[in-house]
């Protein structure tokens, strides 16, 4: 079946270091969404990318969608302790009627 | 606070039992989605309802069923429970039936189910 692979599974960084998580699909995605789940919390929508090669920024977060719409990345510049949590990508296949397929997430811990 | 409510927060039950999880979507949202989150499987989409009708099905077991009522709240019924059903169950809501440029899913706080 369709799968969205997300790496790394875990990332430990020192506060102030950068962080990147990657998502890959073997087939073309209609769009991709990113969510953040704080420890003990629920997933919270961050952004949706739709266009090939799209880049969006939210303060220290940069989201990219690959040219072939098969991969995506989330980059955080100068991490802070408030960035701690698990970051999920969720890809949609099959146009607007497709279900969201979530990656397994990257758990980020930040050492102060 | 996403505006999506789920009850109960925690549920402990025994194998073979049946439970019902409840979700109230954000005001005005017509779609409700159910997800299962376990440690090894991540977030798995189970089922979506839109305005009372089943809209999409994911990896939902035959022992599980759901429905959406006229007031738009939804219930997820889990029967013949097994140890492996222990997980966090989230519901999410969105205004749309189909995904579009503005599609966002708002997640509730989840119900933690423990099957002993």
pLDDT tens series, chain B, 116 aa? 889 999 999 999 999 999 999 999 999 999 999 999 997 778 898 999 999 999 888 889 999 999 999 999 999 999 999 999 999 999 999 887 665 445 688 999 999 999 99
User: Would you call B103 exposed, middle or buried from its count of C-beta atoms within 10 A (0-12, 13-18, 19+)?
Assistant: buried
Q: Which residue in chain B is spatially nearest to A3 when comparing CA positions?
A: B44
Sign of the alpha-carbon dihedral angle for B81, B64, A90, A29: positive
Share of chain A above pLDDT 70, in %: 96
Mean pLDDT across A39-62: 94
User: Are B44 and A102 within 8 A, CB to CB?
Assistant: yes
Q: How far is the C-alpha of A57 from the C-alpha of A91, rounded, in Å?
A: 19
**Closest partner CB to B100 (pick from A96, A99, A103):** A96
**Number of Cβ within a 10 Å radius of residue B93:** 26
pLDDT at residue B39, rounded to an integer = 78
pLDDT at residue B101, rounded to an integer = 44
**Closest partner CB to A42 (pick from B42, B104, B109):** B109
Q: Indicate whether A97 pLDDT > 50.
A: yes
Q: Where are the beta strands (DSSP E) in A1-112?
A: 4-7, 10-14, 19-25, 31-37, 44-49, 55-58, 61-65, 71-76, 85-92, 100-102, 106-111
User: How much helix, strand and coil, in percent to the nearest 5, is found in chain B?
Assistant: 5, 50, 45
User: Which residue of B3, B89, B90, B99 to mutate against A (max A Cβ within 10 Å)?
Assistant: B99
Distance from CA of B107 to the nearest CA of A (A): 6
Q: Indicate whether A31 pLDDT > 60.
A: yes
Scan residues 29-48 of A and list those with Cβ closer than 8 Å to B: 30-31, 33, 35, 41-45, 48
Exposed e or buried b per residue across B22-40, where buried means at least 16 C-beta atoms within 10 angstroms of its C-beta? bbbbbeebbbbbbbbbeee
User: Which residue of B9, B43, B87 to mutate against A (max A Cβ within 10 Å)?
Assistant: B43
Q: B33 is written with which tokens?
A: 């989605």
Q: Is CATH 2.60.40.10 what the domain over A1-17+31-53+76-112 is classified as, yes or no?
A: yes
pLDDT at residue A99, rounded to an integer = 73
Q: Which residue in chain A is spatially nearest to B57 when comparing CA positions?
A: A99
Q: How far is the C-alpha of B115 from the C-alpha of B38, rounded, in Å?
A: 13
Alpha-carbon distances, residue B111 vs A86, B34, B39, B75, B114 (angstroms)? 18, 11, 15, 12, 10
């Amino acid at each position: 079946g369709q799968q969205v692979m997300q790496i790394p599974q875990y990332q430990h960084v020192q506060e102030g270091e950068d962080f990147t998580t990657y998502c890959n699909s073997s087939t073309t995605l209609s769009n991709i969404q990113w969510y953040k789940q704080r420890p003990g919390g629920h997933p919270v929508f961050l952004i949706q990318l739709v266009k090939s090669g799209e880049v969006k920024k939210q303060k220290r977060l940069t989201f990219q969608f690959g040219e072939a719409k098969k991969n995506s990345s989330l980059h955080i510049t100068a991490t802070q302790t408030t960035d701690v949590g698990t970051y999920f990508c969720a890809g949609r296949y099959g146009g607007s009627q497709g279900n969201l397929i979530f990656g397994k997430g990257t758990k980020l811990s930040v050492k102060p | 606070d996403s505006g999506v409510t789920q009850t109960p927060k925690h549920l402990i039950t025994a194998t073979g039992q049946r439970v019902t999880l409840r979700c109230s979507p954000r005001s005005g949202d017509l779609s409700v989605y159910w997800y299962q989150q376990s440690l090894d499987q991540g977030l798995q989409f189970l089922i979506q309802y839109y305005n009372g009708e089943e809209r999409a099905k994911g990896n939902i077991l035959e022992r599980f069923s759901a429905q959406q009522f006229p007031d738009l709240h939804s219930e997820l019924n889990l029967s013949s429970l097994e140890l492996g059903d222990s997980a966090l169950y989230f519901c999410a809501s969105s205004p749309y039936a189909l995904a579009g440029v503005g599609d966002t899913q708002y997640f509730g706080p989840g119900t933690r189910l423990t099957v002993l």
